Amino acid sequence: MSPLARRRIDRASSEPAGAEEPNPRSSITALGTTALGASRAALELWRVFVGTIAGILRGFSRSGDRRGRPKGELVRQLHSIGNRSLIFIIVTLGFIGMVMTYQACLQLGRVTGDYSQVGSQFLRLIISDFGPTLTALMLATRVGAGIAAEIGSMKVTEQIDALRMSGVLPIDYLIVPRFIACVVMTLALAVLGSLVMHAAGGLTAQYSFGVNPGTFYDLSFIRGRHIVLFIVKALAYGAAIPIVAGFCGLRARGSSEGVGWATTAAVIGGSLSVIVLDFIISAAALVLTEGDL
């Protein structure tokens, strides 16, 4: 590149505003600032969560008063969170089910060559972990990013302030319907995703390794505790995703750049909270059942 072009670039492409962080004086200052910011964010996240729960309870107690929420909003959210994620969930979980079965059969073929338990153990793993967790990870990207983008754009165009001005709680109006819809739809999509995953795995096992479908679709290892674990995990993820995304959206500042940052934060926060919740719930289940899961 010529020096002239280089100079032109230097002048033209000054950093997009806000990309550089203020240079902290010392590492201790930086540490303190980070800790303060994190604790403030945690408090705010907690308030969004409590506000959402309170909003749901208020909805029960005063069924006639919907706090200005448009009629049919819940149905709309159920549709946009659930139905519109159908193809996405089917495609992603179907492929990952095929890959996992393929890898497991490949390894088993080298060691024992006995495929009779692949299907039943795979189903056990899907129900107690992979089904709800992978569904929720996928939803954290699609639904979490969607919620944060929507609420974030409303925040930066001052629609949230307008809501508050007209006496409407933004959490009741915006987050409560998304929360309910996401909890319901995560559970429903987790069931669907698990079925798709296991069916796709069965097809792979049948066509690539000649495993009899009768032995693959085997429910003998499933016990009540696996189903309980499945439901607990799906509900926990379904609650975490809209709370984190709504929190990120409400924190959006500035203009289009702020919306972008909020969406990014929602994807990361949602995925990470799914992984951490998975770890906590799995470890708790293992301790409660004394390792006999």
Partner 1 sequence: MIDEKPVASPGRSDDFESGEARTRNTLRRGNPLESLGGGAVRLAQDLGGIVILTGQVLRALVPPAIDGRELVKNLHKMGNRSVPIVVLTAFFAGALMMLQTAPFVKKFGATSLAGWGAGYAVLREIGPILIALMFSGRVGANNTAELSTMTVTEQLDGLRSLAIDPIRFLVVPRVIAMMVMLVALTVIGDLVALLGAAVVGRAMLEIDFSTMYHSFADNLKPYDFLHGVYKSIAFGAAIAMSSCYFGVTVRGGAVGVGRAVNSAVVAAAVSIMLLDFFLTYLSA
Binding to partner 1 (CB under 8 A) within 223-282 occurs at 250, 255-264, 267-268, 271-272, 275-276, 278-279, 282
Least distance in angstroms from the C-beta of 165 to partner 1: 8
* Residues in region 37-66 near partner 1 by CB under 8 A: 44, 47-48, 50-51, 54, 65
Q: Per CB under 8 A, which of residues 118..177 are in contact with partner 1?
A: 125, 128-129, 137-138, 141-142, 145-146, 148-150, 152-153, 156-157, 164, 166-171
Amino acid identity, position 68: G
Residues 8-27 touching partner 1, rule: CB under 8 A, are: 8-9, 12-13, 16, 19
In which residue are the tokens 């079965």 written?
A: 101
**For partner 1, the closer CB: 29 or 76:** 76
Q: Does 36 bind partner 1 (CB under 8 A)?
A: no
Count of residues touching partner 1 (by CB under 8 A): 87
95 sits near partner 1 (criterion: CB under 8 A): yes
SS (H, E, C) the chain: CCHHHHHHHHHHCCCCCCCCCCCCCCHHHHHHHHHHHHHHHHHHHHHHHHHHHHHHHHHHHCCCCCCCCCCCHHHHHHHHHCHHHHHHHHHHHHHHHHHHHHHHHHHHHHHCCCCCCHHHHHHHHHHHHHHHHHHHHHHHHHHHHHHHHHHHHHHHCCHHHHHHHCCCCHHHHHHHHHHHHHHHHHHHHHHHHHHHHHHHHHHHHHHHHCCCHHHHCCCCCCCHHHHHHHHHHHHHHHHHHHHHHHHHHHCCCCCHHHHHHHHHHHHHHHHHHHHHHHHHHHHHHHHHCCCCC
17 vs 214, beta carbon nearer partner 1: 17
Which one, 123 or 148, has the nearer CB to partner 1? 148
Give min distance, CB of 284 to partner 1, in A: 10
Q: Nearer to partner 1 by C-beta: 154 or 214? A: 154
194 binds partner 1 (CB under 8 A): no
User: In the complex, what is the shortest distance from the CB of residue 3 to partner 1, in angstroms, rounded to a whole number?
Assistant: 13
Map the footprint of partner 1 across residues 63-92, applying CB under 8 A: 65, 67-73, 75-76, 79-80, 88, 91-92
